[in-house]
Structure 1
Amino acid sequence: MLRKISPLLCGFSVAALSFFSSTATAQIKPASQFPTTELTAGIYLIKAEVAANEPDREQGLMYRTQLPANQGMLFIFEQPAGHCFWMKNTFLPLSIAFLADDGTIVNIERMAPQTENNHCPTQAVRFALEMNQGWFSEKGIKPGMRISGLPQPR
């Protein structure tokens, strides 16, 4: 059943949506406010911002226009699961490595900017590491190799 909405109510809804959209955008955490950790992949040092809570994981690298070389974002989840990622509102092409608890790379996916395609691990994981697209392949880093320096599960 379709219901007619008054123009006044419709105008209020648009204004409310605009307000909440701008408020949500204003709450985006700057890169400098994410905690960081150092990881290694073979001989390569990675400075990773850490997203270990729901709001930080939801924001991730959205709205960024650049990601310095050898920097990325480490996503930490409480439990291993099939944590999938998409690129809505993410302007950078990224590669994501899904990591087992011991740092072993389960699989690596390439992710195109501003898409809603799901990118999922091939097995349950607690960690995911996003880097500039092609970073892993350029360094010869493949599934089965390890990322060191991950926090130990409790």
Structure 2
Amino acid sequence: MLALGAALLLPGCAGQDGDAAAQAEAKQATVTIESGANRHVFKVDLARTPEQQKQGLMFRTGIPADGGMLFAPYPPEGGPPREASFWMKDTPSSLDLIFIRADGTIATIAENTIPFSEDLVKSGEPVAAVLEINGGRAAELGISPGDKVRW
């Protein structure tokens, strides 16, 4: 994280202090995306706390095809939805970041993020949750903005 204030805006960029504790506390969630007549189900880690969201999928490889991480609620400290900003520092896997509005619809998808990049990946509008899945998976499944997400 850049600074404490930015820490909640930039999941996936912390150092390794507390990584094991953050992962150990992570819970699983089932996420369903309704894309037209198709339904896609993911079993993901749930990042709810600031520490879990700071850790994100850093250092993780071998993410299952229908796995990933859900950052919900976003922001973790509560309050109204806000623009999300992530980076891929210390993240060895390319990811698709699915930015989800408060009404459960997909606002935007940042596809195939660049591993280890410190460039900011922004939602472009206020969001209430973010789903990270394997890079290219959203296009492969036909997931697009406007699709409905439930967990």
TM-score normalised per structure 2: 0.78
What letter matches 1:98 in structure 2?
F
SS at match of 1:122: strand
| Larger Rg over CA atoms | 1
Q: Which runs of 5+ in 2 are unaligned?
A: 1-14
User: Are 1:67 and 2:69 matched, yes or no?
Assistant: no
Query: Matched residues in 2 for 1:113 and 1:106: separation?
Result: 23
Query: Matched residues in 2 for 1:69 and 1:131: separation?
Result: 8
| 1:103 alignment counterpart | 104
Shift of 1:102: 2.0
Q: Is the 8 A contact 2:23 2:52 kept in 1?
A: no
What letter matches 1:143 in structure 2?
P
Shift of 1:122: 1.8
| 1:55 alignment counterpart | 51
| 2:114 alignment counterpart | 112
Query: Matched residues in 2 for 1:139 and 1:65: separation?
Result: 21
Query: Matched residues in 2 for 1:143 and 1:26: separation?
Result: 36
User: Which residue, out of 10, 26, 39, partners 2:31?
Assistant: 39
Larger relative contact order (CA 8 Å, sep ≥ 6): 2
| 2:9 alignment counterpart | none
Identity of aligned residues (%): 32
Shift of 1:26: 5.5
Q: Which runs of 5+ in 1 are unaligned?
A: 1-23, 150-154
| Post-superposition CA distance 1:59-104 (Å, at most 9, x none) | 0000112201101101122231111000000000000010011210
List structure 1 segments (4+ residues) > 6 angstroms apart after TM superposition.
none
Moved more, 74-83 or 29-38: 29-38
Query: Matched residues in 2 for 1:92 and 1:131: separation?
Result: 10
Query: Matched residues in 1 for 2:71 and 2:94: separation?
Result: 17
Query: Matched residues in 2 for 1:109 and 1:44: separation?
Result: 18
SS at match of 2:125: coil
| 1:28 alignment counterpart | 19
RMSD: 1.5
**Matched residues, number:** 126
Shift of 1:27: 2.6
Q: Which has the higher strand share?
A: 2
